[in-house]
């Protein structure tokens, strides 16, 4: 798909609306006082940002992203770069982010950032209720 922009676009026009409808449907089943986190790597690209209150971007360097993806998915570097190039550039995602978690370093540091952010979100939610 990543070699053919037209086929990729066609797939996205079929899949993204269905995924968005499913997310909205699932959110409606949840108590409105609860915090809901949507893990959607293509949230901005798919136009899902209109259904969320805040955007969290988890980032790391492109080199680290390629290394991790190659190890996890056993993809070639060429394929990984094609996937990355079909996404919104990280710089643009960071501009749209309300919160950023830097996932470049060790897992414990990333976890600590998430725990701190979680406390911020919980506090914000309590003020909203």
**Residue 39 domain-assigned (yes or no):** yes
Residue 43 CB coordination number (10 Å): 21
pLDDT band of residue 129 (cuts 50, 70, 90) is low
**Residue 98 domain-assigned (yes or no):** yes
- Whole-angstrom Cα distance, residue 33 to residue 30? 8
Number of domains in the chain: 1
- Angle subtended at Cα 37 by Cα 69 and Cα 46, rounded to the nearest 5 degrees: 65
Residue 111 token pair: 């976890």
Q: What is the pLDDT of residues 15-72, one digit of tens each?
A: 999 999 999 999 999 877 789 999 998 999 999 999 999 999 999 999 999 999 999 9
CATH label of the domain that carries residue 50: 3.40.50.300
Range of the domain at 12: 5-59+90-128
Q: What is the pTM of this model?
A: 0.85
**Residue 65 domain-assigned (yes or no):** no
Per-residue model confidence (pLDDT) at position 41: 85
Handedness of CA 20, 26, 31, 33 (dihedral sign): negative
**Residue 78 domain-assigned (yes or no):** no
**Residue 53 domain-assigned (yes or no):** yes
């Amino acid at each position: 798909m990543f070699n053919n922009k037209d086929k990729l676009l066609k797939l996205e026009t079929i899949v993204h609306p269905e995924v968005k409808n499913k997310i909205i449907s699932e959110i409606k089943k949840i108590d409105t006082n609860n915090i809901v986190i949507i893990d959607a790597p293509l949230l901005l690209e798919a136009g899902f940002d209109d259904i969320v209150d805040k955007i969290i971007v988890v980032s790391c360097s492109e080199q680290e992203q390629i290394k991790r993806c190659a190890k996890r998915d056993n993809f070639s570097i060429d394929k990984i770069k094609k996937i990355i190039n079909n996404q919104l550039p990280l710089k643009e995602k960071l501009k749209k982010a309300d919160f950023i978690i830097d996932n470049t370093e060790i897992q414990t540091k990333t976890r600590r950032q998430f725990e701190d952010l979680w406390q911020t979100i919980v506090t914000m939610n309590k003020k909203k209720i």
